[in-house]
Amino acid sequence: ISSSLREAANEDTCVTISDEEPGDDLDLFCVPNHYAKDLEKVFIPHGLILDRTEKLARDVMGDMGGHHIVALRVLKAGYTFCADLLDYVKTRFFKSYCNDQSTGAIKVLGGDNLSTLAGKNILIVEDIIDFGKTMQIFLSLVQQHNPKMVEVANLLVKRTPRSIGYQPDFVGFEIPDKFVIGYALDYNEYFRDLNHVCVISETGKAKYKSEAESLG
């Protein structure tokens, strides 16, 4: 693993992956054979993800510890990171939420009334922030129900000029503006079963292009 990927993080920062980070060759890791030609590089190995997630959990507990924590997950791609994080954080998983990307509105999955968040200590868990708009909408919705505390943990934050400037409370990795898949992050519902965070190849994009994209 290259030195830039190993950059140490202190309590106030995340692990920053530089724009020049080349990633690592696929043959250095266990990658499903059916994806062998669909990936360029392994960007963040699974073991490093887990180690960083454990550290995030310790940071969360250091900041929110001593309180009962209610965890909220945004978007289904965050389920793997959320599950791994909560394995390290002793907490109760409350309910999943997702963003309706066709309207930009928040759609609640499940029957619980959000008023049950009142007075609770809330940890919002998300896989990746591209621009930050979805998270700001979700935070606004949660805050309307008067929780005691709200903090956000993200595995990945993209470094992009399209960002609105939002920064979560806990971040695993700050990454370049690349399209990454794996660790439940998908491309048209493929690659969710890939353990590592990888960069998709042009072959992979063409192979798994959706019908709508093909017609367009």
Q: Which residues form the catalytic set?
A: 130
Crossing angle of helices 79-88 and 46-64, in 10° steps, is 60
Q: How many CB atoms are closer than 10 A to CB 34?
A: 9
Phi, psi of 153, deg, nearest 5:
-115, 125
Which amino acid is present at 22?
Answer: P
Burial 109-137 (b: 16+ CB within 10 A, else e): eeeeebeebeebbbbbbbbbbeebebbee
